[in-house]
Amino acid sequence: MKPVAIDAGDYRLRQFHKADRPALIEAFADDDHRRYVLNYRLLDFSDADRYIARRAAEWARGVRCSWAIAEARVDRLLGEVGLKDLDLRAGTAEAALWVHPAARRRGVAVTALTAALRFGFDTLGLHEIAYLYHEGNLASAAVARRCGFRFVGTFVSSDGRKLLRCLRVTE
Protein backbone atom coordinates (compact mmCIF):
# COMPACT_ATOMS: atom_id res chain seq x y z
CA MET A 1 0.00 0.00 0.00
CA LYS A 2 1.31 3.44 -0.86
CA PRO A 3 1.47 5.98 2.01
CA VAL A 4 -0.70 9.07 1.82
CA ALA A 5 -0.53 12.38 3.66
CA ILE A 6 -3.63 13.84 5.29
CA ASP A 7 -4.42 17.51 5.91
CA ALA A 8 -5.96 17.71 9.39
CA GLY A 9 -6.33 21.47 9.75
CA ASP A 10 -3.58 22.73 12.07
CA TYR A 11 -1.87 19.36 11.74
CA ARG A 12 -0.55 17.31 8.87
CA LEU A 13 -0.39 13.53 8.95
CA ARG A 14 2.64 12.45 6.95
CA GLN A 15 5.39 9.87 6.85
CA PHE A 16 8.24 10.03 9.35
CA HIS A 17 11.57 11.42 8.15
CA LYS A 18 15.09 11.82 9.51
CA ALA A 19 14.41 15.30 10.92
CA ASP A 20 11.91 13.64 13.31
CA ARG A 21 14.60 11.60 15.07
CA PRO A 22 15.32 14.00 17.99
CA ALA A 23 11.61 14.40 18.77
CA LEU A 24 11.08 10.62 18.53
CA ILE A 25 13.88 10.00 21.03
CA GLU A 26 12.47 12.69 23.38
CA ALA A 27 8.96 11.24 23.21
CA PHE A 28 10.10 7.66 23.85
CA ALA A 29 12.18 8.82 26.85
CA ASP A 30 9.12 10.35 28.55
CA ASP A 31 7.96 8.44 31.65
CA ASP A 32 4.27 8.56 30.71
CA HIS A 33 5.06 7.39 27.19
CA ARG A 34 7.17 4.49 28.48
CA ARG A 35 4.39 3.50 30.91
CA TYR A 36 1.94 2.87 28.07
CA VAL A 37 4.10 2.13 25.00
CA LEU A 38 5.96 -0.95 26.14
CA ASN A 39 7.20 -2.58 22.95
CA TYR A 40 9.61 0.11 21.68
CA ARG A 41 12.73 1.76 23.08
CA LEU A 42 14.34 4.53 21.06
CA LEU A 43 17.60 5.56 22.67
CA ASP A 44 19.56 7.02 19.75
CA PHE A 45 19.41 7.97 16.07
CA SER A 46 19.99 4.37 15.00
CA ASP A 47 16.94 3.24 16.97
CA ALA A 48 14.92 6.10 15.50
CA ASP A 49 16.07 5.19 11.97
CA ARG A 50 14.92 1.59 12.52
CA TYR A 51 11.55 2.82 13.83
CA ILE A 52 11.06 5.06 10.79
CA ALA A 53 12.03 2.22 8.45
CA ARG A 54 9.69 -0.19 10.23
CA ARG A 55 6.73 2.17 9.79
CA ALA A 56 7.52 2.57 6.07
CA ALA A 57 7.78 -1.22 5.65
CA GLU A 58 4.45 -1.75 7.44
CA TRP A 59 2.76 0.64 4.99
CA ALA A 60 4.36 -1.20 2.07
CA ARG A 61 3.13 -4.59 3.36
CA GLY A 62 -0.37 -3.20 3.99
CA VAL A 63 -0.43 -4.20 7.65
CA ARG A 64 -0.34 -0.74 9.20
CA CYS A 65 -1.00 2.84 8.17
CA SER A 66 1.03 5.11 10.46
CA TRP A 67 1.41 8.83 10.25
CA ALA A 68 3.69 11.27 11.97
CA ILE A 69 1.50 14.03 13.36
CA ALA A 70 3.19 17.34 12.52
CA GLU A 71 2.33 20.98 12.97
CA ALA A 72 1.19 22.10 9.54
CA ARG A 73 3.04 25.44 9.63
CA VAL A 74 6.48 24.33 10.82
CA ASP A 75 6.42 20.54 10.26
CA ARG A 76 7.43 19.83 13.88
CA LEU A 77 6.71 16.25 15.05
CA LEU A 78 3.92 16.12 17.65
CA GLY A 79 3.17 12.41 17.78
CA GLU A 80 2.00 9.41 15.82
CA VAL A 81 -1.38 8.02 14.87
CA GLY A 82 -2.07 4.82 13.01
CA LEU A 83 -4.31 1.96 12.06
CA LYS A 84 -2.58 -1.30 12.89
CA ASP A 85 -3.48 -4.96 12.54
CA LEU A 86 -5.19 -4.03 9.29
CA ASP A 87 -7.44 -6.70 7.88
CA LEU A 88 -8.91 -5.23 4.71
CA ARG A 89 -10.90 -8.39 3.94
CA ALA A 90 -12.61 -8.34 7.32
CA GLY A 91 -12.77 -4.53 7.33
CA THR A 92 -11.11 -4.16 10.73
CA ALA A 93 -8.14 -2.45 12.36
CA GLU A 94 -6.94 -1.15 15.70
CA ALA A 95 -6.16 2.52 16.26
CA ALA A 96 -2.80 3.42 17.79
CA LEU A 97 -1.76 6.83 19.08
CA TRP A 98 0.84 8.68 21.09
CA VAL A 99 1.56 12.39 21.55
CA HIS A 100 4.90 14.05 22.33
CA PRO A 101 4.92 15.37 25.92
CA ALA A 102 5.31 18.98 24.72
CA ALA A 103 2.14 18.69 22.60
CA ARG A 104 -0.23 17.08 25.10
CA ARG A 105 -3.53 18.64 26.20
CA ARG A 106 -3.85 20.67 22.98
CA GLY A 107 -6.35 18.51 21.09
CA VAL A 108 -3.67 16.93 18.90
CA ALA A 109 -4.77 13.35 19.65
CA VAL A 110 -8.46 13.88 18.92
CA THR A 111 -7.81 15.79 15.69
CA ALA A 112 -5.27 13.27 14.39
CA LEU A 113 -7.28 10.20 15.36
CA THR A 114 -10.44 11.64 13.80
CA ALA A 115 -8.54 12.12 10.52
CA ALA A 116 -7.12 8.58 10.67
CA LEU A 117 -10.58 7.14 11.39
CA ARG A 118 -12.01 9.01 8.41
CA PHE A 119 -9.24 7.54 6.22
CA GLY A 120 -9.92 4.04 7.57
CA PHE A 121 -13.67 4.16 7.04
CA ASP A 122 -13.88 6.26 3.87
CA THR A 123 -10.71 5.31 1.97
CA LEU A 124 -9.92 1.79 3.16
CA GLY A 125 -13.54 0.73 3.56
CA LEU A 126 -13.13 -0.48 7.13
CA HIS A 127 -16.30 -1.06 9.11
CA GLU A 128 -14.86 -1.54 12.61
CA ILE A 129 -11.88 0.06 14.35
CA ALA A 130 -10.88 -0.91 17.88
CA TYR A 131 -9.05 1.30 20.37
CA LEU A 132 -7.33 -0.28 23.37
CA TYR A 133 -5.84 1.53 26.33
CA HIS A 134 -4.51 0.73 29.76
CA GLU A 135 -6.85 1.12 32.70
CA GLY A 136 -5.96 4.38 34.41
CA ASN A 137 -4.86 6.12 31.21
CA LEU A 138 -7.35 8.95 31.56
CA ALA A 139 -6.05 10.83 28.52
CA SER A 140 -6.69 7.82 26.26
CA ALA A 141 -10.12 7.33 27.81
CA ALA A 142 -11.01 10.95 27.00
CA VAL A 143 -9.72 10.59 23.42
CA ALA A 144 -11.79 7.44 22.94
CA ARG A 145 -14.96 9.20 24.13
CA ARG A 146 -14.34 12.32 22.04
CA CYS A 147 -13.68 10.23 18.92
CA GLY A 148 -16.94 8.30 19.24
CA PHE A 149 -15.65 4.94 20.48
CA ARG A 150 -17.88 2.88 22.73
CA PHE A 151 -16.60 0.68 25.54
CA VAL A 152 -17.07 -3.06 24.85
CA GLY A 153 -14.99 -4.86 27.46
CA THR A 154 -11.74 -5.48 29.28
CA PHE A 155 -8.97 -8.04 29.14
CA VAL A 156 -5.56 -8.62 30.65
CA SER A 157 -2.54 -7.92 28.45
CA SER A 158 0.50 -10.18 28.18
CA ASP A 159 2.29 -7.97 30.73
CA GLY A 160 -0.55 -8.50 33.23
CA ARG A 161 -2.16 -5.08 32.91
CA LYS A 162 -5.85 -4.50 32.43
CA LEU A 163 -6.76 -3.07 29.03
CA LEU A 164 -10.05 -1.46 28.08
CA ARG A 165 -11.38 -2.17 24.58
CA CYS A 166 -13.54 0.28 22.70
CA LEU A 167 -15.01 0.09 19.20
CA ARG A 168 -16.01 2.54 16.55
CA VAL A 169 -18.08 1.28 13.63
CA THR A 170 -19.19 2.85 10.38
CA GLU A 171 -22.30 4.92 10.61
Render each residue's pLDDT in the chain as its tens digit; 171 residues: 899 999 999 999 999 999 999 999 999 898 877 777 767 788 899 999 999 999 999 999 999 999 999 998 999 999 999 999 999 999 999 999 999 888 888 889 999 999 999 999 999 999 999 999 988 889 999 999 999 999 999 988 877 888 989 999 987
Strand order in the sheet with 162-169: 6-8, 11-14, 65-71, 77-87, 92-99, 128-134, 162-169, 150-156
Q: Residue 46 is part of a domain; what is its CATH number?
A: 3.40.630.30
- Residue 90 structural domain: 6-169
Is position 141 within any domain?
Answer: yes
Is position 126 within any domain?
Answer: yes
When divided into structural domains, the chain yields a total of 1
Q: Which residues pair with 8 in a beta bridge?
A: 11
